[in-house]
């Protein structure tokens, strides 16, 4: 039948037949055509999770902020620039997936206005008014709340202090199944490096320390969150 035929398109593995949506990379919020607010995310951790999910048999869509040249083989990649683009692309897809992992480092603020041309330098100080961007993960969580087949929801919390405390609060406030708490100031962790050490908090109160290459951490993370996926339709 058609369902079986569709399943046949997926590789075998514990995530065979599963659809995974993932955000990765930074966002850029432009104040004029050549200047923006951003962050140092390179997308490495998120892309490691995407590749791990694919190798376990899932169909993976990555909504990817600007990260330069990265390995896209086997992934459906949707390129975006700003937080608003990212929110739109996620909300268009999150109802149809089994797992949503929000690993992107979304800018929390954007300039209130964007100048049409490069702003010329002036001497004195300037003030830039910043307004909040959409909270992609919170909006996605609201969109699927109460659904019979709600995707598992996994967030990331990049912090520089009180990492686990802030992450636990975020997990509860956003209605997540798990959150990956990341002290981005720790050596061998965070932005741009190939290794990571994180604490995964789950909604049942679990707390799991993971460390290793980003690939190893990615695989261990997927093992931890698999139990939160909705039942597969028979």
Among 10, 11, 13, 38, binds a second copy (CB under 8 A): 38
What mask, x for binding a second copy by CB under 8 A, covers residues 78 to 117?
---------------------------x-xxx--x----x
Residue 186 · residue 163 · CB < 8 Å: no
Name the active-site residue from 38, 39, 55, 195. Answer: 39
Q: Compute the C-alpha angle 17/20/21, nearest 5°.
A: 150
Site string for a second copy, 129-168 (x = CB under 8 A): xxxx-------------------------xxxx-------
Minimum CB distance to a second copy, residue 112 (Å): 7
For helices 214-225 and 44-55, give the axis angle rounded to 10 degrees: 60
* Pairing assessment for the beta strands 195-202 and 207-213 based on DSSP bridges: antiparallel
Three-state DSSP class for residue 195: strand
Size (the chain), residues: 234
Candidate residues 27, 42, 61, 141; the one interacting with a second copy per rule CB under 8 A: 42
Burial of 118 (0-12, 13-18, 19+ CB in 10 A): exposed
Told to judge if 39 belongs to the known catalytic residues of this protein, a careful annotator would answer yes
Binding site for a second copy (CB under 8 A): 28, 32-40, 42, 66, 68, 105, 107-109, 112, 117-118, 121, 123, 125-132, 158-161, 184-185, 191
- Catalytic positions, written as ranges: 39
């Amino acid at each position: 039948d058609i369902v079986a035929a569709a399943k046949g398109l997926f590789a075998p593995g514990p995530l065979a037949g599963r659809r995974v949506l993932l955000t990765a990379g930074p966002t850029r919020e432009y104040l004029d055509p050549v200047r923006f607010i951003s962050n140092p995310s390179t997308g490495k951790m998120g892309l490691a999770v995407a590749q791990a999910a694919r190798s376990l048999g899932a169909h993976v869509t990555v909504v990817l902020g600007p990260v330069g040249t990265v390995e896209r083989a086997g992934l459906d990649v949707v390129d975006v620039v700003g937080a608003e683009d990212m929110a739109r692309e996620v909300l268009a897809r999150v109802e149809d997936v089994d797992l949503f992992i929000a690993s992107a480092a979304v800018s929390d603020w954007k300039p209130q206005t964007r100048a049409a041309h490069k702003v010329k330098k002036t001497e004195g100080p300037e003030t830039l008014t910043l307004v909040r961007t959409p909270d992609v993960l919170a909006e996605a969580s609201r969109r699927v709340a109460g659904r019979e087949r709600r995707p598992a929801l996994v967030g990331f919390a990049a912090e520089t202090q009180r990492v686990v405390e802030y992450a636990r609060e975020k997990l509860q406030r956003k209605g997540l199944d798990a959150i990956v708490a990341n002290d981005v100031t720790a050596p061998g962790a965070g932005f741009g490096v190939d290794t990571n050490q994180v604490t995964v908090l789950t909604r049942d109160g679990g707390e799991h320390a993971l460390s290793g290459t980003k690939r190893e951490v990615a695989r261990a993370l997927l093992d931890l969150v698999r139990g939160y996926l909705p039942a597969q339709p028979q």
